[in-house]
Amino acid sequence: MALSYQTVDVFTDTPFGGNPLAVVFGAEGLSKVRMQAVAAEFNYSETTFVLPPQNPAHTAQVRIFTPRIEVPFAGHPNVGTATVLAWRGSIFGAPVGDRVVFEEVAGLVPVEILRDGGRAVGATLTAPQPFQRLGEADVTEVAACLGLRPAQIREDRHSPVTGTVGLPFLLVELADRAALAAARPVTAAIETSPSVAPVKDIHCYVRMGAEDAFDLRTRMFAPLDGVPEDPATGSANCALAGLLAEIDGPADGVLSLRIAQGVEMGRPSELLAEVDRQAGVTTAIRIGGRCVAIRRGEVAAGR
């Protein structure tokens, strides 16, 4: 069984930057086990499989796999998949316009296509679920999981907290750029930490000054999912934007954040997050960016 695929680098306008993604077509009838095997073969942080929608009012069903597990939602797979569909022009006999809706385990994910001179250059997704806090983690344990000292973790605005908009992440503010650069995932510590192991994935960030081109710089570690470090994590940054909007976002209006990730990996990424607020309540969280086509071909998948 031969499947067609397109790979893209997401959250960048430069080839070999951003976060690679494989978008796979023709997998109708392929088992979950074989989908997982295909994702492991690509060995990207995520691979998507574009399938016919269960509701014809929607664009497609999209299943997302890391090299080890299927996940209910993720950011860069939605941005990249939507952009690839826009380049194709149609899917399952229907045209692809400026807005697509994907059916995913976490819910419906609407995605707006970004165009430059009429050509699709990227996309912006709206998170499928409201931001939720799911609990806090012990600072000493978190520091051990990151190879840092507890003093390198800031707690003045929030303790290390699990947040989600469809996929949970431990959100951790670090003291400075030096701490961010020094952070390393310690797999054994993550596996054995009572407060970190249930979440597994750690998203660290630092706030930048007015002189910097970015508002935040981030790193995301998910070694237990087969992703030691991710160059750009839309779902984690959606959750982070939701948290920061609760802490010091406007009561009414839009919190906009320009986020850099992947710099320490040599795959710099740029993510643009927006949080809509009304009367002190978050009503929508979006994240978007550009994409670059890299290669396309076929993969023999069996059944």
Gap between the Cα atoms of 21 and 260, Å rounded: 18
What are the phi and psi torsion angles at 173 (to 5°)? Answer: -90, 130
Q: Which of 28, 46, 173, 211 is catalytic?
A: 46
Gap between the Cα atoms of 139 and 151, Å rounded: 9
What are the phi and psi torsion angles at 238 (to 5°)? Answer: -60, -45
Fill in the DSSP letter of residue 163: E
Nearest to 70 by CA among 106, 44, 36: 36
Chain-centre distance of CA 131, in angstroms? 14
Nearby residues of 123 by Cβ (< 8 Å), 6 or more positions away = 78, 79, 80, 82, 83, 86, 111, 112, 113, 114, 288, 289, 291
What are the phi and psi torsion angles at 192 (to 5°)? Answer: -105, 0
Contact (Cβ atoms closer than 8 angstroms) between residue 261 and residue 12: no
∠ at Cα 298 (72, 20), nearest 5°?
Answer: 50
46 catalytic residue (yes or no): yes
Query: Does an H or E element contain 98, and which?
Result: none
Query: Does an H or E element contain 244, and which?
Result: helix 234-248
DSSP helix/strand/coil, 199: coil
Nearest to 236 by CA among 101, 119, 76: 76
Active site residues: 46
